[in-house]
Amino acid sequence: MRLRFVLGALALLAALAPAAARAEDGYDLWLRYRPVEALARPAYQAHATELVVAGDSPTLRAARDELERGLSGMLGAEAPLAAAVDRPGAILLGTAAQPQIAGLGLPLADLGPEGYLVRTVQVDGRAVTVVAANSDVGVLYGAFRLLRLIQARQPLDHLAISDRPALRLRVLDHWDNLDRTVERGYAGASIWDWWKLPDYRDPRYVDYARANASVGINGAVLNNVNAKPESLTQPYLRKAAAIADALRPYGIKVYLSVRFAAPKEMGGLPTADPLDPAVRAWWAGKADEIYRLIPDFGGFLVKANSEGQPGPQDYGRSHADGANMLAAALQPHGGVVMWRAFVYSSEQPEDRVKQAYAEFTPLDGRFAPNVMLQVKNGPLDFQPREPFHPLFGAMPKTPTMLEVQVTKEYLGFSTHLVYLGRLWEEVLKADTHRPDAGSTVARILMRGTGPGALTGMAGVANIGADRNWTGSHFDQANWYAFGRLAWDPNQSSRAIAEDWARLTFSNDPAFVAPVADMMLRSREAVVDYMTPLGLHHIMGEHHHYGPGPWVADAPRADWNSVYYHRADAGGIGFDRTEDGSNAVGQYAEQAGAELLDDERYLLWFHHVPWDRKVRSGRTLWDELVVRYSRGVDEVRQMRRTWDAMAPYVDPARHADVAAFLAIQEREAQWWRDACIAYFQSQSKRPLPAGYAPPAHPLEWYEAQKFPYAPGG
Ligand code: BDP
């Protein structure tokens, strides 16, 4: 068939201006689109002599704009285009609804609403790169994929790529407050400029949307889970609607966190009881109001009866009662409720990590179909390492989504280089053995509760108003990896790290390999210098930054470090075996057996005598010291690696990263020394030969205070 260039046929190369050299400050993220090397350029130019977008819509315009931006940045140089002229190739974008695409007879049926094809087809003897999908947003995702191929210097001949997301909801949760502070945010103020909205729409919102769409993120919860009722008032809904307008062309829906007591606190009702008809009517009315302003509003995220937030239990009702009431209000409009399983009651618990499972499993099957249970990766709270949450696979009748923390609250904020793709991969690949071996967390998420059911993954955003978005250059990798894994939870975190390093810094293999290695190892390094061998929750109180294994005076037992590590003269660790709290009993039998036997979780599940021999043949005490020290050594090695990368990285970003790594080394040493000083005060054992004692006495570490640490 003949290509008919209905709309927007564009003589692309003619319009290309030389790409001016720009300073690198991280703003462009992984969408830098710097010029392809002169030698490689003609081959790419030959594929891009013309750009044709079949159809027109804001989303297709976004796809075309992105391609123009990317292609002109990467290929639009002064070099002669001999090769391009010899064998000109076009890029054609569109959905099955357009005759140019329909006529190609491409296999679009299995792509679902968001998948895409990127294919080379011959049309009238001409090579055409087709980006096709069933929806405009699929086309947009495909356009980003095509650009990524060029960014990573993949050949464009004979393309036959077909991809679709494995999960339906791929959502960033912003813990952003209306005063622009960000709870656990380490990248400056909130990007949402609530005060100036809705009249002023920061152009950054569009760049945020581009970045998200490039990795397939399709939802944003705009405000903190510790929600204020004001976010549901007309003025704030109008502000949220303005953000929704900016994000919509990029396939991103907005959601709001809601405060369960809103009908009482702002609606003037005497109660927020979810079974009270007036309360139900209030929420239904509120949903109607929201959908009048934001017709494609995504729904609500709810933190209820957790850490002092109001919830249905205040009225003797269950989590299902609460969630279903909100679900009923949203249902006529197609909205969903993401109900968090991060709950722990105000009573003195036997073992905090058991509470979510205990509260929710009896409710399996009692949630409305448009409710998703949002479960943190581990049963405690985003620690450097936790076993997977026992709720995965334990509620087969309840749509369950994974929640991870992209912001590094417990992993050194934005100054420590820690690649979280590795951590998430570990969780996603964990075998729950529910119902059988091979039921990894990833599979459970993807399978959902059956065909057409809700599936999803949420990440607590690390994004702020800092110029580089995430507070550090390497934290951009965590935003990127979150999107890529939410799209395909089976991807390898190494492959994602390599892609990111290429797009963000350099395609040179001499850069990509060592940097990806460093990223992959960084996760184990932070576990070693903070919480080796299954230790957890031993950070400083409130700020959650530095070490605090001595914390013992918090108002709740389970906010104290000593509650978790239980170190005394005899040994260390939390006994969660059958003889202890039996938290292990919440896992499938085989999974429990594997966890008990896994040294990575040794002190999570066992209380172990200091002199017990571990796998290395050392005593537990010696092993702890060795691991703490190894973590610091690894950071030293990261610094050396990065120093050697100077030839491949622009000076400004290289210097930023180097300075942060120096902070990380100093603080890794601080963690090591403080923890060894404290645990030695319990174990009363000497350090193994060759291991330096802490630089200061224990009291010195205990006396450190951080009243102005960010994110509190
Ligand atoms: C904890 C954070 C707290 C959050 C809470 C949550 O310290 O700021 O509100 O998680 O997930 O880790 O609700």
What is the Å distance from ligand 1's center to 295 Cα?
30
* Average pLDDT of the residues in 289-299: 98
What is the Å distance from ligand 1's center to 537 Cα?
13
Judge if pTM exceeds 0.85. yes
Q: Note whether 552 and 633 are same-domain residues.
A: yes
- pLDDT attached to residue 22: 67
What gap in Å lies between CA 563 and CA 15, rounded to an integer?
A: 66
DSSP-assigned beta bridge partners for residue 170: 457
Q: Note whether 586 and 602 are same-domain residues.
A: yes
Q: How high does pLDDT run on average in the chain?
A: 94
> Looking at the annotation, which residues are catalytic?
307, 381, 409
Give residue-wise pLDDT tens across range 423-467.
999 999 999 999 999 999 999 999 999 888 999 999 999 999 999
User: Largest Cα–Cα distance of the chain, in whole Å?
Assistant: 83
Q: Name which of 372, 359, 429, 437 is nearest 398 in CA terms.
A: 372
511 in a domain, yes or no?
no
* Average pLDDT of the residues in 654-658: 98
Q: Is the pLDDT of residue 7 over 90?
A: no
Q: Is the pLDDT of residue 9 over 50?
A: no
Q: Is the pLDDT of residue 539 over 70?
A: yes
Q: What is the CATH number of the domain that holds 326?
A: 3.20.20.80
Share of the chain above pLDDT 90, in %: 92
Q: Note whether 107 and 251 are same-domain residues.
A: no
Rounded to whole angstroms, what are the CA distances from 657 to 374, 475, 495, 545? 34, 11, 22, 19
What is the Å distance from ligand 1's center to 458 Cα?
14
Q: Is the pLDDT of residue 17 over 50?
A: no
Can you list the alpha helix ranges (DSSP code H) found in 216-276? 234-247, 262-265
Q: Note whether 156 and 176 are same-domain residues.
A: no
What is the Å distance from ligand 1's center to 184 Cα?
8
What gap in Å lies between CA 376 and CA 357, rounded to an integer?
A: 12
What is the Å distance from ligand 1's center to 128 Cα?
50
What gap in Å lies between CA 451 and CA 581, rounded to an integer?
A: 37
- pLDDT attached to residue 208: 98
* Average pLDDT of the residues in 8-18: 40
Q: Note whether 198 and 330 are same-domain residues.
A: yes
Q: Note whether 218 and 326 are same-domain residues.
A: yes
Q: Note whether 98 and 178 are same-domain residues.
A: no
Residue 15 banded pLDDT, cuts 50, 70, 90: very low
Q: Is the pLDDT of residue 178 over 50?
A: yes
User: 447-454: long-range contacts (C-beta < 8 A, 24 or more apart)?
Assistant: 448/399, 449/396, 449/397, 449/398, 449/399, 453/369, 453/399, 454/168, 454/169, 454/336, 454/369, 454/370, 454/372, 454/399, 454/401
Name the residue of 223, 342, 380 to mutate for ligand 1: max ligand atoms within 8 A of Cβ.
Answer: 342
- Give the range of the structural domain holding residue 120, as residue numbers without chain letter: 8-163
DSSP-assigned beta bridge partners for residue 121: 128
Q: Is the pLDDT of residue 374 over 60?
A: yes
- Token pair of 367 as six digits: 């949630």
* Average pLDDT of the residues in 671-694: 98
User: 176-181: long-range contacts (C-beta < 8 A, 24 or more apart)?
Assistant: 176/222, 176/223, 176/224, 177/223, 177/224, 177/228, 178/223, 178/228, 178/230, 178/231, 178/236, 180/465
For residue 376, the ligand 1 atom closest to its alpha carbon is 11
User: 239-242: long-range contacts (C-beta < 8 A, 24 or more apart)?
Assistant: 239/192, 239/194, 239/197, 239/198, 240/293, 240/294, 241/198, 241/293, 241/294, 242/197, 242/198, 242/201
Q: Note whether 235 and 130 are same-domain residues.
A: no
Instruction: Give residues (CB < 6 A) around ligand 1.
Output: 183-184, 225-226, 303, 307, 342, 381-382, 409
* Average pLDDT of the residues in 280-301: 98
**Nearest CA residue ID for atom 11, ligand 1:** 342
Q: Is the pLDDT of residue 471 over 70?
A: yes
Name the residue of 182, 226, 343, 344 to mutate for ligand 1: max ligand atoms within 8 A of Cβ.
Answer: 226
Q: What is the CATH number of the domain that holds 559?
A: 3.90.1330.10
* Average pLDDT of the residues in 682-698: 98
637 in a domain, yes or no?
yes
What is the Å distance from ligand 1's center to 381 Cα?
8
What gap in Å lies between CA 42 and CA 34, rounded to an integer?
A: 15
Q: Note whether 141 and 181 are same-domain residues.
A: no
Q: Is the pLDDT of residue 5 over 70?
A: no
- pLDDT attached to residue 344: 84
660 in a domain, yes or no?
yes
- pLDDT attached to residue 88: 75
What is the Å distance from ligand 1's center to 307 Cα?
8
* Average pLDDT of the residues in 135-155: 98
For residue 381, the ligand 1 atom closest to its alpha carbon is 12
Q: Note whether 301 and 173 are same-domain residues.
A: yes
Q: Note whether 493 and 642 are same-domain residues.
A: no
Q: What is the CATH number of the domain that holds 156?
A: 3.30.379.10
Q: Is the pLDDT of residue 379 over 60?
A: yes
What gap in Å lies between CA 273 and CA 30, rounded to an integer?
A: 47
Q: What is the 3-state secondary structure (H, E, C) of 379-396?
A: CCCCCCCCCCCCCCCCCC
Rounded to whole angstroms, what are the CA distances from 58 to 61, 108, 136, 247, 491? 5, 22, 9, 11, 31
**Nearest CA residue ID for atom 10, ligand 1:** 381
- pLDDT attached to residue 506: 97
Residue 547: phi, psi to the nearest 5?
A: -75, 150
What is the Å distance from ligand 1's center to 590 Cα?
31
Q: Is the pLDDT of residue 19 over 60?
A: no
Give residue-wise pLDDT tens across range 111-131.
999 999 999 999 888 899 999
- pLDDT attached to residue 23: 83
- Token pair of 292 as six digits: 């009048």
Q: Is the pLDDT of residue 515 over 80?
A: yes
**Nearest CA residue ID for atom 12, ligand 1:** 381
* Average pLDDT of the residues in 548-556: 95
Q: Note whether 381 and 399 are same-domain residues.
A: yes
Q: Is the pLDDT of residue 87 over 90?
A: no
Residue 712 banded pLDDT, cuts 50, 70, 90: confident
For residue 224, the ligand 1 atom closest to its alpha carbon is 9
710 in a domain, yes or no?
no
522 in a domain, yes or no?
no
What gap in Å lies between CA 259 and CA 382, rounded to an integer?
A: 23
Residue 6 banded pLDDT, cuts 50, 70, 90: very low
For residue 403, the ligand 1 atom closest to its alpha carbon is 11
Name the residue of 175, 181, 184, 536 to mutate for ligand 1: max ligand atoms within 8 A of Cβ.
Answer: 184
Q: Which helix (H) or strand (E) holds 515?
A: helix 509-530
